[in-house]
Protein backbone atom coordinates (compact mmCIF):
# COMPACT_ATOMS: atom_id res chain seq x y z
CA UNK A 1 0.00 0.00 0.00
CA UNK A 2 2.81 2.43 0.83
CA UNK A 3 4.21 2.08 -2.69
CA UNK A 4 1.04 3.59 -4.13
CA UNK A 5 1.05 7.33 -4.88
CA UNK A 6 -0.59 9.66 -2.40
CA UNK A 7 -2.87 10.93 -5.18
CA UNK A 8 -3.80 9.33 -8.47
CA UNK A 9 -6.45 11.08 -10.56
CA UNK A 10 -7.52 9.97 -13.99
CA UNK A 11 -9.93 11.85 -16.25
CA UNK A 12 -11.44 13.99 -13.50
CA UNK A 13 -14.27 16.20 -14.73
CA UNK A 14 -16.31 18.66 -12.70
CA UNK A 15 -19.06 20.96 -13.92
CA UNK A 16 -20.97 23.78 -12.28
CA UNK A 17 -23.98 24.24 -14.51
CA UNK A 18 -22.67 25.11 -17.96
CA UNK A 19 -19.18 25.83 -16.66
CA UNK A 20 -16.60 23.06 -16.97
CA UNK A 21 -14.26 23.65 -14.01
CA UNK A 22 -12.15 20.52 -14.57
CA UNK A 23 -11.94 18.83 -17.95
CA UNK A 24 -10.31 15.38 -17.94
CA UNK A 25 -7.63 16.19 -15.35
CA UNK A 26 -4.91 13.63 -14.60
CA UNK A 27 -2.71 14.05 -11.52
CA UNK A 28 -0.23 11.83 -9.72
CA UNK A 29 1.60 12.79 -6.53
CA UNK A 30 4.14 10.39 -5.00
CA UNK A 31 4.29 9.95 -1.24
CA UNK A 32 6.66 12.18 0.66
CA UNK A 33 6.82 14.84 -2.06
CA UNK A 34 5.70 18.46 -2.32
CA UNK A 35 3.72 18.92 -5.52
CA UNK A 36 2.91 22.40 -6.78
CA UNK A 37 -0.35 23.47 -8.38
CA UNK A 38 -0.36 26.62 -10.49
CA UNK A 39 -2.68 28.33 -12.92
CA UNK A 40 -4.43 31.63 -13.61
CA UNK A 41 -7.61 32.63 -11.83
CA UNK A 42 -10.45 30.41 -12.96
CA UNK A 43 -8.16 27.60 -14.06
CA UNK A 44 -9.75 25.04 -11.71
CA UNK A 45 -7.20 24.94 -8.90
CA UNK A 46 -9.67 25.60 -6.08
CA UNK A 47 -12.08 23.02 -7.48
CA UNK A 48 -9.33 20.41 -7.61
CA UNK A 49 -8.23 21.19 -4.05
CA UNK A 50 -11.84 20.87 -2.91
CA UNK A 51 -12.03 17.38 -4.44
CA UNK A 52 -8.85 16.34 -2.64
CA UNK A 53 -10.25 17.57 0.68
CA UNK A 54 -13.64 15.90 0.21
CA UNK A 55 -15.48 19.22 -0.08
CA UNK A 56 -16.86 18.27 -3.49
CA UNK A 57 -17.10 15.20 -5.71
CA UNK A 58 -16.15 14.70 -9.33
CA UNK A 59 -18.79 14.20 -12.01
CA UNK A 60 -16.66 11.62 -13.76
CA UNK A 61 -13.21 10.06 -13.63
CA UNK A 62 -11.37 8.15 -10.93
CA UNK A 63 -9.67 9.60 -7.86
CA UNK A 64 -7.59 7.54 -5.42
CA UNK A 65 -6.21 9.22 -2.29
CA UNK A 66 -3.74 7.42 -0.03
CA UNK A 67 -4.62 4.20 -1.80
CA UNK A 68 -8.38 4.59 -1.21
CA UNK A 69 -10.85 5.15 -4.08
CA UNK A 70 -12.89 8.31 -3.49
CA UNK A 71 -16.59 7.81 -4.18
CA UNK A 72 -19.48 10.22 -4.45
CA UNK A 73 -19.69 11.06 -0.75
CA UNK A 74 -18.48 14.42 0.58
CA UNK A 75 -15.61 13.06 2.61
CA UNK A 76 -11.87 12.53 2.33
CA UNK A 77 -9.99 9.43 3.47
CA UNK A 78 -8.47 9.45 6.93
CA UNK A 79 -5.09 11.12 6.95
CA UNK A 80 -6.00 14.10 4.75
CA UNK A 81 -6.00 17.68 6.06
CA UNK A 82 -5.64 21.22 4.80
CA UNK A 83 -7.62 24.28 3.75
CA UNK A 84 -8.96 26.08 0.68
CA UNK A 85 -9.53 29.84 0.41
CA UNK A 86 -7.91 30.39 3.80
CA UNK A 87 -8.49 28.60 7.09
CA UNK A 88 -11.82 28.85 8.91
CA UNK A 89 -11.20 30.35 12.35
CA UNK A 90 -13.17 31.87 15.25
CA UNK A 91 -11.99 35.50 15.54
CA UNK A 92 -13.23 35.95 19.11
CA UNK A 93 -11.15 33.02 20.39
CA UNK A 94 -7.43 32.85 21.00
CA UNK A 95 -5.13 30.78 18.83
CA UNK A 96 -4.94 28.11 21.53
CA UNK A 97 -8.73 28.11 22.03
CA UNK A 98 -9.31 27.71 18.30
CA UNK A 99 -7.10 24.63 18.15
CA UNK A 100 -8.52 23.19 21.37
CA UNK A 101 -12.06 23.59 20.05
CA UNK A 102 -11.05 21.90 16.84
CA UNK A 103 -9.59 18.89 18.60
CA UNK A 104 -12.74 18.61 20.72
CA UNK A 105 -14.93 18.67 17.59
CA UNK A 106 -12.85 15.83 16.21
CA UNK A 107 -13.38 13.83 19.37
CA UNK A 108 -9.85 14.23 20.62
CA UNK A 109 -10.58 15.97 23.92
CA UNK A 110 -8.46 18.94 24.86
CA UNK A 111 -5.10 17.39 23.88
CA UNK A 112 -3.17 20.31 25.33
CA UNK A 113 0.20 18.81 24.46
CA UNK A 114 -0.75 18.38 20.80
CA UNK A 115 -2.03 21.95 20.59
CA UNK A 116 1.15 23.30 22.15
CA UNK A 117 3.28 21.21 19.79
CA UNK A 118 1.69 22.51 16.59
CA UNK A 119 1.69 26.12 17.85
CA UNK A 120 5.40 25.78 18.44
CA UNK A 121 5.90 24.10 15.09
CA UNK A 122 4.44 27.04 13.16
CA UNK A 123 6.05 29.67 15.39
CA UNK A 124 2.97 30.99 17.19
CA UNK A 125 3.77 30.06 20.78
CA UNK A 126 4.30 33.68 21.81
CA UNK A 127 0.81 34.69 20.63
CA UNK A 128 -1.00 31.47 21.57
CA UNK A 129 -3.27 33.28 24.04
CA UNK A 130 -4.04 36.30 21.84
CA UNK A 131 -7.44 36.59 20.17
CA UNK A 132 -7.02 36.03 16.47
CA UNK A 133 -9.21 38.98 15.46
CA UNK A 134 -5.97 40.95 15.85
CA UNK A 135 -3.87 38.53 13.82
CA UNK A 136 -2.36 39.53 10.51
CA UNK A 137 -3.19 37.53 7.38
CA UNK A 138 0.13 35.74 7.59
CA UNK A 139 -0.44 34.75 11.23
CA UNK A 140 -3.88 33.40 10.33
CA UNK A 141 -2.32 31.32 7.57
CA UNK A 142 0.17 29.88 10.04
CA UNK A 143 -2.61 29.09 12.48
CA UNK A 144 -4.49 27.35 9.66
CA UNK A 145 -1.41 25.24 9.03
CA UNK A 146 -1.23 24.43 12.74
CA UNK A 147 -4.87 23.29 12.64
CA UNK A 148 -4.12 21.00 9.70
CA UNK A 149 -1.11 19.53 11.49
CA UNK A 150 -3.14 18.53 14.56
CA UNK A 151 -4.11 15.24 12.95
CA UNK A 152 -0.55 14.56 11.74
CA UNK A 153 -1.85 14.04 8.19
CA UNK A 154 -0.29 11.82 5.56
CA UNK A 155 -1.55 14.19 2.86
CA UNK A 156 -1.59 17.95 3.39
CA UNK A 157 -3.52 20.12 0.92
CA UNK A 158 -2.78 23.84 1.16
CA UNK A 159 -4.10 26.86 -0.72
CA UNK A 160 -1.70 29.83 -0.74
CA UNK A 161 -0.10 28.99 2.65
CA UNK A 162 2.47 31.80 2.23
CA UNK A 163 -0.18 34.45 1.62
CA UNK A 164 0.54 37.49 3.80
CA UNK A 165 3.73 36.09 5.31
CA UNK A 166 6.75 38.30 5.85
CA UNK A 167 10.13 36.89 4.73
CA UNK A 168 10.86 35.37 8.16
CA UNK A 169 7.40 33.81 8.37
CA UNK A 170 7.66 32.40 4.86
CA UNK A 171 11.03 30.89 5.62
CA UNK A 172 9.60 29.30 8.76
CA UNK A 173 6.62 27.79 6.91
CA UNK A 174 8.88 26.55 4.13
CA UNK A 175 10.98 24.78 6.73
CA UNK A 176 7.91 23.15 8.27
CA UNK A 177 6.72 21.84 4.91
CA UNK A 178 10.17 20.58 3.92
CA UNK A 179 10.47 18.67 7.21
CA UNK A 180 7.02 17.15 6.78
CA UNK A 181 7.91 15.90 3.31
CA UNK A 182 11.21 14.51 4.57
CA UNK A 183 9.23 12.56 7.18
CA UNK A 184 6.96 11.06 4.50
CA UNK A 185 4.00 13.46 4.36
CA UNK A 186 2.76 14.32 0.88
CA UNK A 187 1.92 17.97 0.25
CA UNK A 188 -0.12 19.58 -2.51
CA UNK A 189 0.61 23.28 -2.55
CA UNK A 190 -1.39 25.74 -4.65
CA UNK A 191 0.18 29.15 -5.09
CA UNK A 192 0.38 32.12 -7.42
CA UNK A 193 3.92 32.71 -6.16
CA UNK A 194 6.35 31.01 -8.50
CA UNK A 195 9.22 31.50 -6.05
CA UNK A 196 7.36 29.44 -3.43
CA UNK A 197 6.78 26.61 -5.88
CA UNK A 198 10.38 26.66 -7.10
CA UNK A 199 11.75 26.68 -3.56
CA UNK A 200 9.62 23.79 -2.28
CA UNK A 201 8.28 21.58 -5.05
CA UNK A 202 9.87 18.63 -6.80
CA UNK A 203 7.15 18.72 -9.46
CA UNK A 204 4.35 21.02 -10.54
CA UNK A 205 1.05 20.77 -12.38
CA UNK A 206 -0.09 23.80 -14.36
CA UNK A 207 -3.80 24.17 -15.09
CA UNK A 208 -5.42 26.44 -17.67
CA UNK A 209 -9.13 26.55 -18.48
CA UNK A 210 -9.71 23.39 -16.46
CA UNK A 211 -7.11 21.29 -18.24
CA UNK A 212 -3.58 20.19 -17.42
CA UNK A 213 -1.12 21.96 -19.72
CA UNK A 214 1.98 20.65 -17.94
CA UNK A 215 2.71 18.17 -15.18
CA UNK A 216 6.12 16.94 -14.19
CA UNK A 217 9.46 17.79 -12.57
CA UNK A 218 10.52 21.41 -12.49
CA UNK A 219 13.69 20.42 -14.33
CA UNK A 220 11.65 19.61 -17.42
CA UNK A 221 10.45 23.19 -17.58
CA UNK A 222 13.99 24.50 -17.36
CA UNK A 223 15.10 22.29 -20.27
CA UNK A 224 12.30 23.36 -22.58
CA UNK A 225 13.57 25.13 -25.72
CA UNK A 226 12.60 28.62 -24.61
CA UNK A 227 14.57 31.80 -24.80
CA UNK A 228 14.75 33.61 -21.47
CA UNK A 229 16.02 37.05 -20.55
CA UNK A 230 18.97 36.95 -18.15
CA UNK A 231 20.50 39.60 -15.93
CA UNK A 232 24.30 39.64 -16.14
CA UNK A 233 26.05 41.54 -13.35
CA UNK A 234 29.67 42.37 -14.06
CA UNK A 235 32.05 45.22 -13.15
CA UNK A 236 33.20 45.37 -16.81
CA UNK A 237 29.95 45.78 -18.65
CA UNK A 238 31.45 47.15 -21.87
CA UNK A 239 33.76 44.15 -22.26
CA UNK A 240 30.90 41.77 -21.46
CA UNK A 241 28.76 43.57 -24.04
CA UNK A 242 31.37 42.94 -26.74
CA UNK A 243 31.65 39.24 -25.84
CA UNK A 244 27.87 38.84 -25.82
CA UNK A 245 27.59 40.51 -29.23
CA UNK A 246 30.04 37.94 -30.66
CA UNK A 247 28.30 34.91 -29.10
CA UNK A 248 25.97 33.03 -31.43
CA UNK A 249 22.43 32.68 -30.15
CA UNK A 250 22.74 35.53 -27.63
CA UNK A 251 20.60 38.61 -28.16
CA UNK A 252 21.40 41.82 -26.33
CA UNK A 253 18.21 43.41 -25.04
CA UNK A 254 18.36 46.86 -26.63
CA UNK A 255 16.69 48.78 -23.82
CA UNK A 256 19.27 47.41 -21.41
CA UNK A 257 22.16 49.07 -23.28
CA UNK A 258 20.76 52.43 -22.21
CA UNK A 259 20.28 51.56 -18.55
CA UNK A 260 21.93 53.90 -16.05
CA UNK A 261 23.17 50.86 -14.09
CA UNK A 262 26.70 50.47 -15.44
CA UNK A 263 27.16 46.94 -14.10
CA UNK A 264 24.04 45.27 -15.52
CA UNK A 265 23.66 43.73 -18.94
CA UNK A 266 20.45 42.06 -20.11
CA UNK A 267 20.64 39.31 -22.70
CA UNK A 268 18.17 36.83 -24.17
CA UNK A 269 19.22 33.28 -25.01
CA UNK A 270 18.41 29.60 -24.82
CA UNK A 271 20.36 27.52 -22.31
CA UNK A 272 23.14 26.25 -24.70
CA UNK A 273 23.92 29.76 -25.96
CA UNK A 274 23.94 31.09 -22.41
CA UNK A 275 26.41 28.37 -21.38
CA UNK A 276 28.65 29.41 -24.28
CA UNK A 277 28.47 33.04 -23.16
CA UNK A 278 29.57 32.15 -19.63
CA UNK A 279 32.55 30.19 -20.96
CA UNK A 280 33.57 33.09 -23.20
CA UNK A 281 33.29 35.61 -20.35
CA UNK A 282 35.51 33.46 -18.13
CA UNK A 283 38.07 32.93 -20.90
CA UNK A 284 38.17 36.69 -21.45
CA UNK A 285 38.89 37.25 -17.76
CA UNK A 286 35.65 39.16 -17.21
CA UNK A 287 34.32 38.88 -13.66
CA UNK A 288 30.78 37.52 -13.43
CA UNK A 289 29.11 38.47 -10.15
CA UNK A 290 25.60 37.29 -10.93
CA UNK A 291 23.72 35.49 -13.67
CA UNK A 292 20.00 35.05 -13.12
CA UNK A 293 16.85 34.90 -15.23
CA UNK A 294 14.79 38.08 -15.17
CA UNK A 295 11.73 35.81 -15.12
CA UNK A 296 12.19 32.34 -13.62
CA UNK A 297 11.88 29.29 -15.93
CA UNK A 298 8.73 28.28 -14.07
CA UNK A 299 7.13 31.70 -14.47
CA UNK A 300 8.14 31.88 -18.13
CA UNK A 301 6.67 28.43 -18.78
CA UNK A 302 3.56 29.32 -16.80
CA UNK A 303 2.95 32.41 -18.89
CA UNK A 304 3.65 30.67 -22.20
CA UNK A 305 1.54 27.60 -21.46
CA UNK A 306 -1.44 29.37 -19.95
CA UNK A 307 -1.52 32.13 -22.56
CA UNK A 308 -1.36 29.52 -25.31
CA UNK A 309 -4.23 27.58 -23.75
CA UNK A 310 -6.35 30.69 -23.25
CA UNK A 311 -5.79 31.64 -26.91
CA UNK A 312 -7.25 28.29 -28.00
CA UNK A 313 -10.50 28.71 -26.05
> Rounded to whole angstroms, how far apart are CA atoms 298 and 159?
19
The number of helices, as runs of H, and strands, as runs of E, in the chain is 10, 14
Question: Tens of pLDDT along 19-78?
Answer: 999 999 999 999 999 999 999 988 999 999 999 999 999 999 999 999 989 877 777 788
Residue 294 in any domain: the answer is yes
User: Are 308 and 178 in a shared domain?
Assistant: no
User: Are 158 and 290 in a shared domain?
Assistant: no
Question: What is the CATH classification number for the domain harbouring 286?
Answer: 3.30.70.100
Instruction: Tell me how far CA of residue 76 lies from CA of 31, 66, 267, in angstroms.
Output: 17, 10, 49
User: Are 135 and 181 in a shared domain?
Assistant: yes
User: Are 192 and 263 in a shared domain?
Assistant: no
> 134 Cβ partners below 8 Å, 6+ apart?
none
> What is the CA angle 51-76-137, rounded to 5?
70
Helix (H, G, I), strand (E, B) or coil at 271: helix
| Helix, strand, coil percent values for the chain (each to nearest 5) | 40, 25, 35
> 49 Cβ partners below 8 Å, 6+ apart?
37, 82, 84, 157, 159, 188, 190
Domain count across the chain: 2
CA proximity to 269, closest of 292, 251, 294, 291: 251
Q: Which domain does 244 fall in, by range?
A: 228-312
pLDDT along the chain (313 residues), means of 10: 84 94 96 94 93 93 92 79 85 93 73 87 94 92 92 92 88 93 94 88 92 88 70 91 93 64 83 92 93 81 70 49
Q: Which of 166, 198, 222 is the last residue of a domain?
A: 222
pTM score of the predicted model: 0.81
User: Are 240 and 128 in a shared domain?
Assistant: no
pLDDT score of 49: 95
Residue 79 in any domain: the answer is yes
Residue 150 in any domain: the answer is yes
Number of residues that make up the chain? 313
Q: Say if CB 43 and CB 208 are below 8 A apart.
A: yes
User: Are 52 and 85 in a shared domain?
Assistant: yes
Residue 2 in any domain: the answer is no
How many Cα atoms within 13 Å fall on the side-chain side of residue 139?
A: 15
Residue 1 in any domain: the answer is no
User: Are 179 and 67 in a shared domain?
Assistant: yes
User: Are 160 and 263 in a shared domain?
Assistant: no
User: Are 153 and 268 in a shared domain?
Assistant: no
User: Are 161 and 256 in a shared domain?
Assistant: no
Q: Which of 201, 222, 243 is the last residue of a domain?
A: 222
Question: What is the CATH classification number for the domain harbouring 148?
Answer: 3.40.50.300
Residue 83 in any domain: the answer is yes
Residue 247 in any domain: the answer is yes
User: Are 48 and 99 in a shared domain?
Assistant: yes
Phi/psi of residue 266, each to 5°?
-105, 130
CA proximity to 28, closest of 220, 305, 215: 215
Query: What sign does the dihedral 43-294-292-246 (CA atoms) show?
Result: positive
Q: Which of 205, 222, 239 is the last residue of a domain?
A: 222
Residue 158 in any domain: the answer is yes
User: Are 103 and 204 in a shared domain?
Assistant: yes
Write the DSSP string, 201-241. -SEEEEEETTEEEEEEEHHHHHTSS--EEEEEE-S-HHHHH
Amino acid sequence: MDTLPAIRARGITKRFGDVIALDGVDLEVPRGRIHGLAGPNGAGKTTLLGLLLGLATADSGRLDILGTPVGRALSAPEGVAGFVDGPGLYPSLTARQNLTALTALRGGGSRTAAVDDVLDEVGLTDVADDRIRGFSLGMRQRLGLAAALLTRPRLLVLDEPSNGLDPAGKRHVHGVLARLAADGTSVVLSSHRMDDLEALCSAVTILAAGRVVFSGPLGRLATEDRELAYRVLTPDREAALRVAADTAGVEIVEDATRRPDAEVLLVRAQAPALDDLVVRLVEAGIALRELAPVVSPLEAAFLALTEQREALR
